[in-house]
Structure 1
């Protein structure tokens, strides 16, 4: 299964980092004892090829008669993954900025037009989906049809993500989650001490965040 395979790649690449002291403050403002650094996979040819193959397999298997006609990487961490995935699927590549830069209908989109195209949004992570709002808006303002977003890892712990995806009309294709990381065994398995920290956090992520200097409540999903 792709979840188990992606989790192994993340663990092999050292992308799963667990702190027993100072918490990580994620981009969305939540505090967490664990951090996923997908950028570490970028530098290892074997790991990035394997991750790209898993992503391509998920797209080929999951889109039926309406596959994407282009791949758009989310600024900035999604761009390299979108590039490798576009190459694997032999599709046009675009990238989308967090906010408009310049003028015109395609102010957020680079690499060519997207008007009238089914475009797959690609990012490395999803926490609570806040950044996906701006990226989806940018692509749709350029005339793209955007129904799916792909990420390598979905935290799936904090509120707001499912609501945002529903309001955006987006289906999330995620290659791995914390459940997959915790299920990893053998040489890739998390040390017992790291597992205990992570399991305490996952039992009450909002409470854990509030107690460690992060956000204590979800923001109203913005569209």
Structure 2
């Protein structure tokens, strides 16, 4: 597993988030047919963070854990607004903005092309210090696109909050750092494996995850995915 450059919450928070993901059934393992992630990597496991959206106890819990992390890291506030990334980041951002009593905005993947042709919705962000929130981070490329839209609209954005960071593959931390961004990752693979005290992962699935994490790039290459940091054309 690569060394991340993410800002990690205290272990109690990260393990609690990992348990919520396991409880929601969000960790899907396929030993026969690999998943191909948006970044082009092949993986035997896929984390569907959106499953936390559906159950009120799960979404309340993850919102409170995210708020606790931010209150600890930014005791004097630090943000004027939470911005949800289209699409799954929007509801999580809305609940977090309520918990922290902050303004809410959302950012599209691209301008709408009609009306105001806006990429940022919900109100102006010019001069505001904003926190970008999304459900999942893999290689960080989509986050850079969202941040470009926010900065073009005048926002001061230097922090990204993600519920799960698929930190197996290289490049994301360096890419975000070069863009002047700090990634706050509530849970990673290490947390999922360490926090599975209820044995929700089958022994065979856990073994497959561990084999994958030992050399994820080689695993991806063997299963038809990307083999390097350079995306396939």
Q: TM-score, normalization: structure 2?
A: 0.90
What are the residue-to-residue correspondences of 1:112-123 with 2, within 5 Å?
112-123=123-134
Name the stretch that deviates more: 103-112 or 118-127: 103-112
Matches within 5 A, 1:14-163: 14-65=25-76, 67-102=78-113, 107-163=118-174
Aligned match of 1:10 in 5, 21, 24? 21
* Larger relative contact order (CA 8 Å, sep ≥ 6): 2
Query: Structure 1 CA distance, aligned partners of 2:81 and 2:39?
Result: 28
CA distance in 1, matches of 2:77, 2:192: 31
User: Residue 154 of structure 2: SS of its match in structure 1?
Assistant: coil
Query: What is the CA–CA distance in structure 2 between the aligned matches of 1:106 and 1:136, rounded to whole Å?
Result: 17
Tell me the alpha carbon deviations over residues 100-153 of structure 1, each in whole angstroms, 9 at most, x when there is no partner: 224899821000000000000000000010101100001111100001000000
Q: Which structure 1 segments of 5+ residues have no match?
A: none
Q: Is the 8 A contact 1:60 1:67 kept in 2?
A: no
Indicate the residue corresponding to 2:6 in structure 1.
Answer: none
Is the 1:150–1:173 contact (alpha carbons within 8 Å) kept by the matching residues of 2?
yes
8 Å CA contact retained: 2:132, 2:161: yes
Distance 1:63 1:105 in 2: 34
8 Å Cα contact 1:4-1:176 kept in structure 2: yes
* Cα distance change of structure 1 residues 188 and 92 upon mapping to structure 2, 3 Å threshold: farther
- Determine if contact 2:22/2:196 at 8 Å carries over to the other structure: no
Work out whether residues 12 and 188 of structure 1, in 8 Å CA contact, stay in contact via their aligned partners in 2.
Answer: no
Specify the alignment match of 1:200 in structure 2: 211
